[in-house]
C-alpha cells in the first residue's frame, strides 16, 4: 500500500484531468479528541466516490450526502474554499461518531485545478518534500519544495500543508520475518527495499511491491541514501552482512537503525564494532537491539508485529516505557 496522501492526491488529479468535479477536504484544526490528525486529507468525487479519510466514517458519509449527487440531493459548490466544523455540540459529536468533546474543522476546496495537482504528484513521486499553499480568498494554489517537514498552518488568508516524501524501509536479509515485516510496512505506508545478496534466500520472496537489491548490504545502504524518513533493519544474523550495513546506516539520518538478535548477540555485535571498527558506546547509541517491543513474541509474525510497533513508535516520536524494551523485560523475568 502506497503513502495515503500520495494516493489521495493522485486519484484527485486523475478525476480532475478527466473533467470530473471533485472536492479536497483537509483537517485543519481539532479540539479535544479527534479520530484523524491535523493535515489528514480526503477527496470526494461528484458521484460519491471517496478516497482517504478525515474521521472514522460518519463525517465522510455526511460530506457525501451534502456535496455529491449519489442520492440525487447533494450539490458541490463552486468558488472559494470554505471552512466547516463538526462536533461543536454533544449531539453533533454523537451523530458524527466523534469522541466525547471532540471537534474538528475542515477546509473544503471545490474543483482544485488539475495542473497544480499534476505538478505536486510528480514531485512527490520523485521523493521530494513539497509545500502546498492555498489562498482562501479564491482557492489559488502555489507549490514550493520544502527543506524540512512542518505542521499544517492556517490563518485568515491561507492554508499551508507539507506533503511527502514517503517513509522508506530498508530490510537486510530475506526470509519469513522479512516478509511479514515488509507486508506490515507496506500497509503502514512505507516504501520497502529488500537487500540480500544470497540467491538461495531471495528465491522464495513473495511480497509484491518491494524493491529488490542484490548488492552487498553496506553498498545497498549507501545506494539507499537513508534520510530522516528512513529506517534500516538488519535481519540476517550474519555479522558479515549485518555489521557493515549497520555502520553505514548509523552515519546517516535514518530515524531507526536496528538488528534482530538476542541480548547476547546484540552485546557481541557492539563489542565487535568497538574492537574492530573503532566505534564507541557513544557512536553506537542509536543502534537498536534486540529490536521490537516486548510482547512475548515467539513466531515470525509476532516478532514482526513487535518490530513494526517499535518502528512506528519511534517514527511518531512516542517514548515507550522501559518495561517494553525486550532486554529490560527479559532481565526482569530472569530476576523473578
Give residue-wise pLDDT tens across range 167-221: 899 999 999 999 999 999 998 889 899 999 999 999 989 899 899 999 999 999 9
- State the burial class of residue 2 (Cβ atoms within 10 Å of its Cβ: 0-12, 13-18, 19+): middle
Backbone CA torsion sign across 68, 72, 74, 75: positive
Give residue-wise pLDDT tens across range 115-161: 999 999 999 887 788 999 999 999 999 999 998 778 899 999 999 99
167-335 is a CATH 3.40.50.720 domain: yes
The three cell numbers of residue 224 are 539507499
pLDDT for residue 1: 46
pLDDT for residue 33: 64
pLDDT for residue 75: 79
Beta carbons of 119 and 98 less than 8 angstroms apart: no
Where in the chain are the domains? 4-163, 167-335
Q: How far is Cα 2 from Cα 331, in angstroms, rounded to an integer?
A: 39
- State the burial class of residue 128 (Cβ atoms within 10 Å of its Cβ: 0-12, 13-18, 19+): middle
- Residues, the chain, total? 336
Q: Which of 313, 285, 289, 184 is nearest to 233 (CA)?
A: 289
pTM of this structure:
0.73
Amino acid at each position: 500500500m502506497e503513502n495515503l496522501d500520495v494516493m489521495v492526491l493522485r486519484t484527485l488529479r486523475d478525476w480532475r484531468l478527466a473533467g470530473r468535479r471533485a472536492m479536497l477536504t483537509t483537517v485543519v484544526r481539532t479540539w479535544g479528541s479527534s479520530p484523524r490528525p491535523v493535515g489528514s486529507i480526503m477527496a470526494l468525487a461528484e458521484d460519491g466516490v471517496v478516497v482517504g479519510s478525515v474521521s472514522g466514517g460518519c463525517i465522510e458519509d455526511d460530506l457525501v450526502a451534502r456535496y455529491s449527487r449519489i442520492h440525487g440531493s447533494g450539490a458541490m459548490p463552486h468558488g472559494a474554499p470554505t471552512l466547516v466544523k463538526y462536533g461543536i455540540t454533544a449531539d453533533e459529536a454523537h451523530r458524527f461518531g466523534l469522541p466525547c468533546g471532540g471537534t474538528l474543522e475542515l477546509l473544503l476546496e471545490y474543483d482544485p485545478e488539475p495542473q497544480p495537482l499534476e505538478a505536486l504528484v510528480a514531485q512527490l513521486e520523485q521523493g521530494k518534500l513539497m509545500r502546498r499553499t492555498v489562498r482562501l480568498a479564491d482557492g489559488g494554489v502555489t507549490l514550493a519544495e520544502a527543506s524540512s517537514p512542518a505542521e499544517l498552518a492556517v490563518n485568515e488568508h491561507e492554508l499551508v500543508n507539507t506533503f511527502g516524501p514517503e517513509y522508506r524501509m530498508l530490510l537486510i536479509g530475506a526470509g519469513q520475518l522479512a516478509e511479514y515485516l515488509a507486508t506490515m510496512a507496506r500497509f503502514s505506508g512505507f516504501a520497502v527495499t529488500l537487500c540480500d545478496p544470497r540467491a538461495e534466500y531471495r528465491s522464495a520472496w513473495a511480497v509484491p511491491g518491494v524493491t529488490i537489491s542484490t548488492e552487498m548490504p553496506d553498498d545497498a545502504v549507501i545506494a539507499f541514501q537513508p534520510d530522516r524518513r528512513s529506517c534500516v533493519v538488519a535481519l540476517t544474523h550474519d555479522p558479515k552482512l549485518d555489521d557493515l550495513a549497520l555502520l553505514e546506516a548509523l552515519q546517516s539520518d535514518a530515524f531507526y537503525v536496528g538488528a534482530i538478535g538476542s541480548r547476547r548477540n546484540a552485546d557481541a555485535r557492539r563489542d565487535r564494532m568497538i574492537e574492530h571498527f573503532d566505534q564507541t558506546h557513544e557512536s553506537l547509541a542509536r543502534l537498536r537491539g534486540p529490536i521490537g517491543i516486548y510482547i512475548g513474541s515467539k513466531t515470525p509474525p509476532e516478532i514482526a508485529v513487535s518490530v513494526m510497533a517499535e518502528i512506528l513508535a519511534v517514527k511518531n516520536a512516542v517514548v515507550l516505557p522501559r518495561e517494553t524494551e525486550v532486554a529490560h523485560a527479559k532481565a526482569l523475568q530472569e530476576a523473578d
